[in-house]
Amino acid sequence: MTDTAAPDVRTHCPYCALQCGMSLGGDDRGPGGPLRITPREDVRTNRGGLCQKGWTAAEMLTVPDRLTSPMMRATRDAPLRPCTWDQALDRITSEVTRLQGAYGPDAIAVFGGGGLTNEKAYQLGKFARVALRTSQIDYNGRFCMSSAAAATGRAFGMDRGLPGPITDLGRADAILLAGGNVAETMPPFMRHLTDAQEAGGALIVVDPRRTPTARQANLHLQPTPGTDLALANGLLYLAIEEGLLDEAYLAARTGGFEAVRTVVNGYWPDRVERVTGVPVPHMREAVRLLARGERSYILTGRGAEQHARGTDMVTAFINLALALGLPGRPGSGYGCLTGQGNGQGGREHGQKADQLPGYRRIDDPAARAHVAAVWGVHPDDLPGVGRSAYELLEALGTPEGPKAMLLFGSNPVVSAPRASAVEERLDALDFLAVADFVPSETARRADVVLPAAQWAEESGTMTNLEGRVQRRNRAVLPPEGVRTDLEILAVLADRLHAPGTWSDEPAEVFEELREASAGGLADYAGISYRRIDAEGGVFWPCPSEDHPGTPRPFLERFATPDGRARFTPVEHSGPAEDVDPEYPVYLTTGRVLAQYQSGAQTRRVGPLVEAAPEAFVEVHPDLAERLGIADGDGVRVASRRGTATVRARLTDAIRHDTVFIPFHWGGEARANLLTNPALDPMSRMPEFKVCAVRLEPVLPESAPDVPIDARIEEGASA
C-alpha cells in the first residue's frame, strides 16, 4: 500500500476539527522513521498555518511508551502483560460470548470517539448493532457537540457545524463568538476572524475569561458562567426594542417567533445585567454591531454548550440569529465550532445511541429498513436506542447495566464528568477492552489492551468543521505488532460469526458507508475518494455523483418538514448547582493551546509538555488574596464530587467569582474530579462548564516538594 520512496503524502492534522492540511515527507519514511511536516497552502482552512500541536504531530508516532503489542491481565488484580494477538482476540471473544450468554446482548457496551475516521465510526456502529447486537453504544461526542446538534436539529432540521465554508467568515460584517477560545483551540481559525476585522467587520467574544481570543475582539462580554441563555434573550430584547428585526425574513422563512417575543419580554436590560454581570451598554453595542450589516454570524463553542441546559442555551443564540435574519443566507448564519478531528463525521454515521448511518434515527422504521438491507440483516434484528455516554458509564457493572465494554478512541477516566465515579464503574466491570496507541489512564484499567494504528499510519476520511469530507492518507506503515481499528473490528466480527461483510480496507468500508447514508440527512452517496481528491474535499449532503455537494445548506429552505426554521422559546434557570456558603466559587473548565483533550497524546510530546507541563487553576488576584493563595501555590479545589490539587495561577483575566481549570491532566490534577454530571434533558450533555467549588491553599508544611504532576504520574502507574 505504501511506497516509502514516494513523494510527500497530502493529509490532515490528527487533532482538532479544523483538520489543517499538511504534507508528510522525509527521506526514510519507514515505520518509526522521521516524518517532515509541511503545512499545505492549498487547504483554505489553515492556508499554510499550523498550531504547535500540528507541527509536533509526528512525535506521537514514536513516543517511548507507544503500544506495539497487545496486553492482557489474567485476573482483574493481575498486571497487564504482553500477549499475542490471538490470545487477546480469543479472550475478547470468549468474554463477549460468556457474558452475552448469561445476560443477553446488552451486556456488552461499546464506547467510541470523534477522532475516529468516518470509516471506523461507521464500522464501530455496525459492529455494535450487527456483531454484538447491543443497543449500548455511545461516544465522547456526547460530551462535545451534542447540545449544538440537538439545538440545530430542532431549529433547522439538520445539524451541520458551520453554515458554509470557513472562508466566508472573512467577509463578515460582525461575528459574535460565544464560549469559544479559538486562539488556543484552533489557532489558524483566527486568520479568518482577523480577515473580517481587517475588512471593517467586528468580532464580539462572550467568555467569562479575557482569553487570547477575547483580547483580539472589538468587544468582549464577560458573563458569569452558565448565564448565556439570559444574555442571548437580553440581546434579542434589545434587538426588538431597537427595531432591528428582519420582519420580511421572519414571515417568509421562520415559524414560532411570537412565542419567543413573549418570553424575551421578561429579559429587560437591567435584569439581564444583574443575572449575567454584563453591562447594558455592552449588550446594546453587541446588538447594534450584529445588526448593522447583512452578513453576520453567531457562533458557539463549548463554553455556551456544555451545560445542563446546553440545548436551550444554543437555542437562545439561534433565536437571536433568526430574529436578525441571518441563517440561510450566503455569508451569514448560526454555526457551532465542531471540536474533534472527525467530530462532525463522527456524529453522523452511527456511534450515537439513537442513531444509524447518514444521521438517521434508530427508532425510525424506514431508516432501520434501509440500513438493515445494506448490512444484510433483518430490521427486527437491529437493537433500539441505548444509553447516552454518561448514563452508559454510570450503568457499567450495575445489576441492570452492561458487564463489559469495548472502547475505541476515548479516555473517560480523565475526560468524563465526576471522574472518580467513572473509575469505580470501570473497575466494577467483568471485562474491559481498550484499543489505543498509548497506555492512557483508561487503557491502564483494561483487561485487554489492543495497540492501534494512528493517523499517519492509516487511511480514511474525516469530515471537518465546515462539513467538508476530506481524506486522511497513510504515509508510513504502522510499527510491527500494531493493527488498524478496521482490522481489529473485521477480525472480531469474524470470530463472533457476524452476518454481512467486514472489510478492513477503508476504501471498501467507505463504499458501504455511501450506500448506508444514501437518502439520510448526512447523505454521502455522491462522495467518492476520487472526487475528494479532485475537488479538494466535498461538502455533504451530496446525494449523487453528479451533485456538486452542499457548501451552504438552507439557502432555499431549511431541512424541516415545512422548510421553515423553528423558533423555540427558552427561559434562563441558572446552573444546575449554584454557589452557596460552603462552595462559594464558580468553576469552569476548558483547554490550553499546547494540550489536547485528556492529554493522552499531547502529554507524551516533549515540546508540548514543555509549553504546558501541568494543570493549574486561574484565580483572580482579589479572590486569591481573600483566600490566602499566592501565585504558584498548590491549591486544593473541592466540589461536592471530589477534590483536585493544582497550582494557582493568578490573573486578572478571569472574573472575581469564577476559577478555571484545564481538563488535560490525569491523577489528582483532574478537573473532572470536580465537575457536575447534571445532564441536559435533550442532548444528555453534562454540565462541564459550571459547578460550585471551594479553594484552599495546600499548607507549605504538608506540601511535598515534588512537582504536582510528578506525584500524579507515580499515583497513576502504581
Using CB under 6 A, list all residues that contact ligand MGD: 16, 113-116, 140, 143-144, 178-182, 184-186, 206-209, 211, 225-226, 228, 301-304, 306, 339-340, 408-412, 414-415, 435-438, 440, 452, 485, 588-591, 593, 595-598, 600-601, 660, 663, 671-672, 675, 688-690
Q: What's the rounded Cα separation, in Å, for the pair 551 and 538?
A: 8
Instruction: State which residue, 140 or 683, has the beta carbon closest to ligand MGD.
Output: 140
C-alpha angle 521/526/532, rounded to 5°?
Answer: 110
Instruction: State which residue, 348 or 447, has the beta carbon closest to Mo ion.
Output: 348
| Strand positions, DSSP E, 454-600 | 460-463, 468-472, 538-539, 565-566, 585-590
For residue 31, the minimal CB distance to ligand SF4 (Å) is 23
Residue nearest to ligand SF4 (CB): 54
Residue 226 contacts residue 689 (beta carbons within 8 Å) = yes
Cell of 119: 470509516
For residue 617, the minimal CB distance to ligand MGD (Å) is 13
For residue 145, the minimal CB distance to Mo ion (Å) is 7
Contacts with ligand SF4 by CB under 6 A: the residue count is 14
CB atoms within 10 A of CB 1: 7
Q: Report in angstroms the alpha-carbon separations of 679 from 131, 491, 683, 684.
A: 30, 36, 8, 5
For residue 180, the minimal CB distance to ligand SF4 (Å) is 13
Positive or negative CA dihedral for 282, 659, 317, 292? positive
Q: What's the rounded Cα separation, in Å, for the pair 627 and 319?
A: 41
Q: What's the rounded Cα separation, in Å, for the pair 51 and 451?
A: 27
- Owner of C-alpha cell 457493572: 397
- Closest to 703 measured CA to CA, from 645, 660, 651, 661: 645
Out of 23, 54, 297, 328, which residue is the one contacting ligand SF4 (CB under 6 A)? 54
With CB cut-offs between 5 and 8 Å by kind, which of Mo ion, ligand MGD, ligand SF4, none does residue 175 bind?
none
For residue 187, the minimal CB distance to ligand SF4 (Å) is 5
With CB cut-offs between 5 and 8 Å by kind, which of Mo ion, ligand MGD, ligand SF4, none does residue 152 bind?
none
For residue 375, the minimal CB distance to ligand SF4 (Å) is 33
Out of 114, 157, 161, 187, which residue is the one contacting ligand SF4 (CB under 6 A)? 187
Q: Report in angstroms the alpha-carbon separations of 512 from 121, 400, 623.
A: 13, 34, 57
Out of 11, 23, 46, 254, which residue is the one contacting ligand SF4 (CB under 6 A)? 46
144 binds Mo ion (CB under 5 A): yes
For residue 165, the minimal CB distance to ligand SF4 (Å) is 16
Instruction: State which residue, 91 or 307, has the beta carbon closest to ligand MGD.
Output: 307
Out of 70, 115, 161, 188, which residue is the one contacting ligand SF4 (CB under 6 A)? 188
Q: What's the rounded Cα separation, in Å, for the pair 534 and 670?
A: 45
- Closest to 192 measured CA to CA, from 389, 28, 44: 44
Instruction: Pick the stretch among 48-56, 155-163, 636-644, 707-715 that binds ligand SF4 (CB under 6 A).
Output: 48-56
With CB cut-offs between 5 and 8 Å by kind, which of ligand MGD, Mo ion, ligand SF4, none does residue 182 bind?
ligand MGD
Contacts with Mo ion by CB under 5 A: the residue count is 2
Q: Report in angstroms the alpha-carbon separations of 150 from 153, 274, 347, 672.
A: 5, 29, 11, 24
Instruction: Pick the stretch among 61-69, 183-191, 434-442, 483-491 that binds ligand SF4 (CB under 6 A).
Output: 183-191
58 binds ligand SF4 (CB under 6 A): no
For residue 454, the minimal CB distance to ligand MGD (Å) is 6
339 binds Mo ion (CB under 5 A): yes
Instruction: State which residue, 339 or 401, has the beta carbon closest to Mo ion.
Output: 339
269-276 helix and 280-291 helix, angle to the nearest 10 degrees: 110
Residues 6-45: x/- map of binding to ligand SF4 (CB under 6 A)?
-------x-xx-xxx-------------------------
675 binds ligand SF4 (CB under 6 A): no
Instruction: State which residue, 480 or 556, has the beta carbon closest to ligand MGD.
Output: 480
Instruction: State which residue, 180 or 188, has the beta carbon closest to ligand SF4.
Output: 188
Q: List the beta bridge partners of residue 626.
A: none
Residue 284 host element (H or E): helix 280-291
Instruction: State which residue, 372 or 585, has the beta carbon closest to ligand MGD.
Output: 585
At 496 the three-state DSSP class reads: coil
Q: What's the rounded Cα separation, in Å, for the pair 183 and 190?
A: 6
For residue 46, the minimal CB distance to ligand SF4 (Å) is 6
Residue 311 contacts residue 680 (beta carbons within 8 Å) = yes
With CB cut-offs between 5 and 8 Å by kind, which of ligand MGD, ligand SF4, Mo ion, none does residue 20 bind?
ligand SF4
- Closest to 128 measured CA to CA, from 327, 303, 387: 387
- Closest to 572 measured CA to CA, from 342, 248, 237, 302: 237
Q: How many CA atoms lie within 13 A of 618 on its CB side?
A: 24
Residue 169 contacts residue 297 (beta carbons within 8 Å) = yes
Cell of 225: 458562567
Instruction: State which residue, 144 or 695, has the beta carbon closest to ligand MGD.
Output: 144
Query: Given the rule CB under 5 A, which residues bind Mo ion?
Result: 144, 339
Query: Given the rule CB under 6 A, which residues bind ligand SF4?
Result: 13, 15-16, 18-20, 46, 50-51, 53-54, 186-188
